[in-house]
């Protein structure tokens, strides 16, 4: 390939600059978190004596174990169930194609661009009437519905590409629809399922609006919702707020670094399909 040396250097410089811009806010947050609690530090200055204890204090002040447990329970309520019901629907609409499958799919697609704020007010009263306000169910149940447009579209897109011969062969061997699904199609869908699972895990963890509106107690919220409450409580103590923010975003960073390859491809595919 013909590449002038100047272009190559310009490219590298650009890339490094963008990475720096990406990373500086994280570093700024970290450095600020090490200052004396209650002070108003400036910019990127390294403190004379780093207060590592801020992290311990923030951990206790935020009741971190309770927050992690709550987020974990919400993830457990949302991700496996959403994967299951979306796969069933995607299998039906994309592979079995029962009468009316086009219209059903179109109805799901309708919700694809819907911002959560557009339906949050009636959702609040619905949760109140179901007496689920302030419980984790108030986040779990709506998320199952709100994820369906994307999740069904994602799984349908996967099942549409499955050759019909595969199912016919299984049918001739006497497989029922259910067996066809569990024995043949689910094992073949693993890559699509894991990508979707990663995306829904991330979106659930970071879900803010539902958590803030439908659940008052931060200990019943998602991590992002809890962070919002933490900001309200410690907004004036900058170093402690920064330490708490870092603690709360560390789990996502760790999960991301552990599964980064799947994460990146899931996010890219997710964007492409969305």
- Please tell me whether residue 131 binds another protein under the rule CB under 8 A: no
106 near another protein, judged by CB under 8 A: no
Write out the binding residues for another protein, residues 85-104 only, by CB under 8 A.
Answer: 85-86, 88-89, 91-93, 96-101, 104
d(C-alpha 219, C-alpha 11), whole Å: 46
Measured between alpha carbons, how far apart are the two ends of the chain, in Å? Answer: 34
**Number of residues located near another protein, criterion CB under 8 A:** 103
65 binds another protein (CB under 8 A): no
Q: Does 49 bind another protein (CB under 8 A)?
A: no
Nearer to another protein, 40 or 65 (CB): 40
* Shortest distance (Å) from residue 151 CB to another protein: 8
Site for another protein in 192-231 (CB under 8 A): 202, 205-206, 208-209, 212-213, 223-224, 227-228, 231
**Where in 134-193 is the site for another protein (CB under 8 A)?**
141-142, 144-146, 148-149, 151-152, 173-174, 177, 181
Give yes or no for residue 72 binding another protein (CB under 8 A).
Answer: no
Decide if residue 47 touches another protein (CB under 8 A): no
Q: Which range, of 50-58, 60-68, 186-194, 247-255, touches another protein by CB under 8 A?
A: 247-255
Based on the shown chain and the rule CB under 8 A, indicate whether residue 236 belongs to the binding site for another protein: no
Nearer to another protein, 37 or 228 (CB): 228
Binding window for another protein (CB under 8 A); candidates: 14-22, 48-56, 58-66, 189-197: 14-22
Q: Which two tokens stand for residue 187?
A: 């094992």
266 binds another protein (CB under 8 A): no
């Amino acid at each position: 390939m013909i590449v002038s040396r100047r272009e190559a250097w310009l490219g590298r410089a650009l890339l490094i600059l963008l990475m720096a811009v990406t990373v500086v806010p994280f570093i700024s947050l970290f450095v600020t978190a090490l200052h004396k609690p209650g002070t108003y530090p400036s910019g990127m200055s390294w403190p004379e004596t780093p207060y590592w204890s801020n992290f311990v204090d923030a951990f206790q002040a935020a009741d971190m174990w309770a927050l992690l447990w709550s987020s974990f329970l919400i993830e457990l309520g949302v991700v496996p169930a959403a994967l299951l019901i979306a796969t069933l629907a995607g299998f039906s609409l994309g592979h079995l194609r029962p009468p009316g499958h086009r219209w059903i799919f179109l109805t799901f697609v309708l919700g694809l661009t819907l911002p959560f704020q557009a339906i949050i007010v009636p959702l609040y009263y619905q949760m109140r009437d179901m007496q689920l306000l302030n419980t984790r169910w108030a986040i779990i149940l709506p998320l199952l519905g709100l994820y369906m447009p994307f999740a069904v579209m994602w799984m349908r897109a996967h099942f549409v590409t499955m050759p019909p011969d595969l199912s016919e062969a299984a049918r001739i061997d006497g497989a029922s629809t259910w067996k066809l699904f569990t024995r043949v199609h689910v094992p073949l869908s693993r890559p699509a399922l894991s990508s979707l699972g990663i995306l829904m895990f991330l979106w659930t963890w970071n879900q803010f609006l539902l958590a803030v509106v439908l659940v008052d107690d931060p200990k019943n919220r998602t991590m992002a919702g809890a962070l919002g409450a933490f900001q309200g409580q410690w907004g004036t103590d900058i170093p402690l707020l920064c330490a708490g923010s870092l603690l709360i975003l560390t789990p996502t960073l760790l999960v991301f670094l552990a599964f980064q390859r799947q994460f990146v491809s899931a996010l890219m595919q997710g964007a492409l399909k969305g």
